[in-house]
Amino acid sequence: MVPSEIRALFAVVSRPEVVSLAGGAPYVSALPLDVVGGMVGDLVAGKGAEVLQYGSAQGDEELRARICEVMALEGVTANADDVVVTVGAQQGLDLLTKIFIDPGDVVLAEAPSYVGALGTFASYQADVVHVPMDGEGLVPAALRETLARLRREGRRVKFLYTVPTFQNPAGVTLSAARRAEVLDICAAHDVLVVEDNPYGLLCYDHEPLRALRADDDRVVYLGSFSKTIASGLRVGWVLAPQGVRTKLVLAAESAVLCPPNFSQLAVREYLNTQPWREQIKSFRELYRERRDTMLESLDALMPDGCTWTRPAGGFFVWLTLPEGLDAKAMAPRALAERVAYVPGTGFYADGTGQRHLRLSYCFPEPHRIREGVRRLASVVQQEIGMRDTFGGARPDRAPRGVHTPGPGIV
């Protein structure tokens, strides 16, 4: 394992003069902190013997029942017995990879894909093969072709890792029409589907979509409270068919004994006693405004030749620079202009992504988003000028290796 090349860059992102459009941290200050504090204090005072004690490796049973109610909002029918609580969805991903992957096995992932997943896959020596997306998400024809090619090559494909809804980093969503097709293709090739869905409830233009898992019980589903309640609790979960779930519980026990009761029972109490559905609606309004501010600013300010996605939910916009520009080479110059983003190369396992970058609108307030885009547009304009004067960049391919996300990127 080697540190991500983008990690060093982000040591400076937290400076107050920098507008960071880089991180994926949710805006937890929007929670009623006094109320949540009072709730947690009462919980520890009243049920400390349970809250402060070891729990089971699978996670608290009542919490797992509440989790099923949360998943029902996206059409998922599930039994609490099939849920495993994890230390964030990241741990679910780690344990699944540990269970399924032998060195050299193939994992399919969207191009681009979540940087934390790529790091985990690489740490178990999986070989990530990317499948292209367009504005409607993963392209079924490309998935079919990729699977056929890998079969001809005698490769062993263990699973498709997908973030179908409000994808990180691309901000696109797999269309309803394609969902059944993707499931059918994977079933025909006997390839497991791992659906990672941290953003599904943060939808700004329509009601929540049906999860892939809602229409196929074989899907392994990763969920998280990091974006709908609070990331610092590190409470996520895996919903998996029984054979997988049994292995997950053993792997979880070996990894951490049990997830923290302290976090789990805080989430349980929050779901039991607080107006969590209304809080999610209020998060939607908050993030919708930021998403709109970012898109309006990009429309108004970005130079010709740039294109970007228009997310209907989640936290991210994926921007493509004009030909001849290199987002990684541009990043230090953008930082000098006090704006930060994540260069696209971190989201590919194959060293591509030079012309892309990820912009997040989840954390900065709207006036900061506007200012950040203004600075970014000016940097891109300068880059275009340099390209026109000195010729296009010959982008470096990123070195292969584990691109761990680094603090605060997610």
Among 8, 12, 15, 46, indicate the residue that binds a copy of itself (CB under 8 A): 46
What is the distance between the alpha carbons of residues 235 and 237, in angstroms, rounded to a whole number? 7
Nearer Cβ to a copy of itself (236/313): 236
- Output the CA torsion sign for 229, 235, 236, 238: negative
Which H or E element spans position 138? strand 137-138
Output the six-digit token pair for 129. Answer: 């093969």
Residues in 93-112 at the binding interface with a copy of itself, rule: CB under 8 A:
94, 98
Strand order in the sheet with 137-138: 83-86, 236-239, 220-224, 192-196, 157-162, 106-111, 127-134, 137-138
Among 52, 141, 148, 187, indicate the residue that binds a copy of itself (CB under 8 A): 52
Output the six-digit token pair for 237. Answer: 């979960």
Nearer Cβ to a copy of itself (64/179): 64
Nearer Cβ to a copy of itself (87/172): 87
Among 12, 15, 53, 72, indicate the residue that binds a copy of itself (CB under 8 A): 53
Site pattern 120..159 for a copy of itself (x: CB under 8 A) = x--x------------------------------------
Asked if 173 is part of the footprint of a copy of itself (rule: CB under 8 A), the reply reads no
Residues in 14-33 at the binding interface with a copy of itself, rule: CB under 8 A:
25-26, 28-29, 31, 33
Among 8, 12, 15, 37, indicate the residue that binds a copy of itself (CB under 8 A): 37
What residue type is 350 in one-letter code?
D
Among 9, 19, 21, 43, indicate the residue that binds a copy of itself (CB under 8 A): 43
Nearer Cβ to a copy of itself (61/296): 61
Strands (E), 209-279: 220-224, 236-239
Among 15, 41, 134, 273, indicate the residue that binds a copy of itself (CB under 8 A): 41
- Output the CA torsion sign for 125, 126, 129, 135: negative
Nearest in space to 76 (alpha carbons), one of 184, 283, 223: 223
Report DSSP state, residue 230: I
How many of the other CB atoms lie within 10 Å of CB of 323?
10
Are the C-beta atoms of residues 228 and 17 closer than 8 Å to each other?
Answer: no
In DSSP terms, 236 is beta-bridged to 86, 224
Residues in 241-300 at the binding interface with a copy of itself, rule: CB under 8 A:
247, 250-251, 253-263, 266
Nearer Cβ to a copy of itself (102/388): 102
* Interacting span for a copy of itself (CB under 8 A) from 227-235, 287-295, 337-345, 348-356: 227-235
Among 64, 234, 290, 291, indicate the residue that binds a copy of itself (CB under 8 A): 234
What is the distance between the alpha carbons of residues 339 and 376, in angstroms, rounded to a whole number? 6
What is the distance between the alpha carbons of residues 207 and 284, in angstroms, rounded to a whole number? 11
Q: Which residues in this chain contact a copy of itself in the complex, by CB under 8 A? A: 1-3, 25-26, 28-29, 31, 33-34, 36-38, 40-46, 48-57, 87-88, 90-91, 94, 98, 116, 119-120, 123, 226, 230-234, 247, 250-251, 253-263, 266, 402, 404-408, 410
